Amino acid sequence: MSSILPLPKFIELNELCSKSAGGEVLFATDDYFAPAENMILDNEPVFIQEKFTEFGKWMDGWETRRKRCIGHDWCIIKLGSKAIIHGVDVDTAFFTGNFTPKYSIQAACLTPEDEKLIPLRKGEMGSCCNRNDLIEIGQLSSEHWQEIIPKTALQPGYEDTRHNYQKVISDEAFTHIRINMYPDGGIARLRVYGIAKLDMSQAFIENDMVDLIAMKNGGVCQGYSNAHYGHPRNLIKQTKGYNMADGWETARRLDRPDVIQANEDGTLKVPGCEWATFKLGYSGSISRICVDTHHFKGNFPDSVKIEGALINNCQWSETIDKSIKWINILPTTKLSAHAEHWYDCNVEDKISHVRVTIAPDGGISRVRLFSNDLF
């Protein structure tokens, strides 16, 4: 009988604090062995046995010096979007004799004026904050921010114990978090999962259009058929994809024909497809679509189709999918490699959810669904 615990459902939500999501380390008490910025890198942590620096062993994470003064270490991270946090993963990978024994997380909703109280950050190996930095940052009273995860023990960074998942129960939306180390040590990666919460008035861009599916506007992936190489939640990040891993890529379908042939419209004759379903941040009609295959050169899909539906309870599930009346927003359309594909859409129906279907398989980097007609 397997002793492996099921992964928590919240890790299917948007990841909010990584670099590609727009996360940023604003303050850390100590960066002696490894700066806190490593903690929000997108790639998986690595270990290089023989790599040392003038400060000590090189580690792929945030690692502070062994505490030889009063207090404990902590840092402040700005999330990529104001969001309701559903859970976190504190990953101690490769920190086996130097991991942080305990941690806690506090959160707050700060204004741009509040951020001006944060001292300029170096973020360099071998550095630490000074007395003046602590006085400046003290104006935020971050030690009194709302505690969303109490002091909790961490496990060492072996493969079977490195992931420390913790659910968060709060309906409040936050812009910044403070992660506390007790008292010092190392954390390889921090992942914060949730759903962005933005005022509608802040969602519009200069031409009075809003991207309804964007993570920053509250869009979230609610289901998918395959995510072998990359999760479809990457499609709705606000930044341009930085490589193939920062997109949605499926495995090669095993039902593809031995010899590929084409339909009259130029699309390939294939029996299968892959799909991902998203809840939009706002309901509305779609007027402009972008499907971006950036970085996908030898593995882009042959075609894409986008359908929309209005689901009154705003919660899609595979159980109710068969009863949903999907309408075509973008009919089956050929794609090309490493390019943005823009389409006008004349469907006036109100949409709360979309289903993106690619055939037969492959990867896309981003999807944008713009509207100037919200409901």
Q: Which pLDDT tens digit goes with each residue over 189-207?
A: 999 999 999 766 665 554 5
Structure tokens at 109: 């909703």
211 pairs with which residues across the strands? 370
pLDDT tens profile 326-373: 999 999 999 999 999 999 998 889 999 999 999 999 999 999 999 987
Nearest to 207 by CA among 18, 372, 31, 329: 372
Q: Residue 40 — pLDDT band, cuts 50, 70, 90?
A: very high
Place of tokens 């894409």: 304
| Measured distance CA(351)–CA(362) in Å, rounded | 26
Write the DSSP symbol of residue 160: T
What single letter denotes the amino acid at residue 143?
A: E
Specify the 3-state DSSP secondary structure of 336: coil
Residues sharing a CB contact under 8 Å with residue 64, sequence separation 6 or more, in sequence order: 29, 30, 31, 32, 33, 73, 181, 184, 185, 186
CATH class belonging to 200-374: mainly beta
What's the rounded Cα separation, in Å, for the pair 332 and 311?
A: 23
Q: By the 8 A CB rule, do 369 and 278 touch? A: no
Mean pLDDT across 53-77: 97
Buried b (16+ CB within 10 A) or exposed e, 74-90: bbbbbbbbbbbbbbbbb
Can you say how many angstroms the Cα of residue 27 is from the centroid of all Cα atoms in its chain?
A: 21
Closest CA to 168 of 191, 186, 189: 191
CA angle centred on 118, ends 138 and 45, rounded to 5°:
105
pLDDT at 209: 86
* Spatial contact of 193 and 16, defined as CB atoms under 8 Å apart: yes
Q: Which amino acid is at 247?
A: G
Residue-wise pLDDT for 237-260, tens only, equals 989 999 999 999 999 999 999 999
Which secondary structure element, helix H or strand E, spans residue 137, and what is its range? helix 131-137
The whole-angstrom separation of Cα 190 and Cα 38 is 9
9-196 and 200-374 in the same fold: yes
Cβ distance 322 to 275 under 8 Å? no
Which CATH number does the domain 9-196 belong to among 1.10.4190.10, 3.40.50.300, 2.60.120.260, 3.40.50.2300? 2.60.120.260
* Domain range annotation of the chain: 9-196, 200-374
Q: Cβ distance 62 to 186 under 8 Å?
A: yes
Give the pLDDT score at 230: 97
